[in-house]
Amino acid sequence: MIIQNVIAHGAGASVINGHPDSWLEGVCLDNVKLFISSDPAGPYEHTATALTVRQAQRLRMSNVEIDWEKPFAATWTTGFSLYRVKDAILDHVEVHPAPGSTSPAISLTSVENVRGLK
């Protein structure tokens, strides 16, 4: 799956989910900019992370930016989260910290062989 040349402005989280028994393989994001805002009346206002990738292998991200727009949500903590990801290359991935959060802009949990983070 390739997601390429996208500029998106939206409220709430974006999630790329594999399944614990059937991981996604070969997902590629190229030249993608996500600008996340909040919708105080939205049912998903508990969102903490702008983009999460779960249960994936051979993930490739190139020229990806994640940033925040008003209105801001008090629940935001992390811009980008990888959970159970193997063999990822992150090339020119820029994640801005969530407004008002002291959490890191990028969260890695149960990952193997992730290259390109600085």
pLDDT tens-place string over residues 16-58? 999 999 999 999 999 999 999 888 777 766 778 999 999 999 9
Contact 54, 86 (CB under 8 A): no
What pTM was computed for the model? 0.90
Q: Distance between CA atoms of 35 and 16, rounded to whole angstroms?
A: 16
- Checking if the pLDDT of 66 tops 80, the result is yes
> In the prediction, which pLDDT does 118 show?
60
Q: pLDDT band at residue 74, thresholds of 50, 70 and 90?
A: confident
Residue 28, helix vs strand vs coil: strand
